[in-house]
Amino acid sequence: MDLPGPVVAAVRGARRILVLTGAGMSAESGVPTFRDAQSGLWENFDPSQLATPDAWADDPPFVWAWYAWRLHLVRDVAPNAGHRALAELATHRDVTIVTQNVDDLHERAGSEVAAHLHGSLTELRCADCHEPYDGEPTLSPEPVKRLDPETCAACGGDVRPGVVWFGEMLPEAAVATTEAAIEALEPGDVCLVVGTSGIVFPAAGYPAMALAEGATVIEVNPVDTDITDMCHHAIRGTAANVLPALVS
């Protein structure tokens, strides 16, 4: 893919590159995004209703079934060319990856992820006593309507995924690491925003913070988003197509 010269020059000339990724980063690995056309169970349910403490309190087996299926799905897929390109870039450049994704595809491509802002699908913990759960959960290869969550060995409570639901606080360390990485940006550095709709805060506010530090903000997304207008460059394409060209 041919990219505009100023975009390539910005990436080549940057001392630091901060990469903020969202669900579109993993779409070409086969992980559905949240707000594009959905498949399976996602077609019938609104993630903003399902990914909430209220949904869990109302019906844990309903919510757990969604996660047991997604856990299975994520374990079954592989990083795509976009994940691999970022890992390769970090071998010779100062790259910091911050992701909203709860999968581990960046890590499986060989990247170190500085912050998982919305937690991790695989880090299960008790919803009551917060004890980590290190058993092997029963996963669902197909979407099902309800599935009993695993039980906490310490207190008998229901085990939940270690993700951040709407209305919950983000992990303090992830926020602190992200804000420090943004504050370290200087004019001439680059903030690459890949595959996010830019509607969920506080993550949606980070590109503007990078802009305020003087960084060149570059969006990689097939469509316009809520943050497009504030970006210096918007590259219309997919992560797996654009990133290998951008970082070569």
Would you say 195 is a known binding-site residue?
yes
45 interacts with ligand BJW by CB under 6 A: no
* Minimum CB distance to ligand BJW, residue 198 (Å): 6
- Amino acid (one-letter) located at 175: V
Measured in Å, how far apart are the chain's first and last C-alpha atoms? 11
Binding mask 109-148 for ligand BJW (x = CB under 6 A): ---------x------------------------------
Choice among 83, 106, 118, 232 that is catalytic = 118
Of the residues 14, 17, 20, 28, which one makes contact with ligand BJW according to CB under 6 A: 28
By CB neighbour count within 10 A (0-12 exposed, 13-18 middle, 19+ buried), where does 136 fall? exposed
* Minimum CB distance to ligand BJW, residue 138 (Å): 18
Whether the CB-CB separation of 1 and 222 falls below 8 Å is answered with no
User: Residue 16 pairs with which residues in a beta bridge?
Assistant: 94
225 interacts with ligand BJW by CB under 6 A: yes
For ligand BJW, give the closer residue by CB, 167 or 187. Answer: 167
Would you say 239 is a known binding-site residue?
yes
Active site residue 118: yes
* Minimum CB distance to ligand BJW, residue 36 (Å): 5
State the Cα–Cα distance between residues 220 and 218, nearest whole angstrom. 7
The binding site comprises 67, 70, 100-103, 126, 129, 152, 155, 195-197, 221-223, 239
The binding site for Zn(2+) comprises 126, 129, 152, 155
For the annotated catalytic residues, the residue numbers are 118
The binding site for NAD(+) comprises 100-103, 195-197, 221-223, 239
Q: Which residues would be at the binding site for ligand BJW (CB under 6 A)?
A: 22-24, 27-28, 33-36, 47, 51, 100, 102, 118, 163-170, 195-197, 199-202, 220-223, 225, 238-239
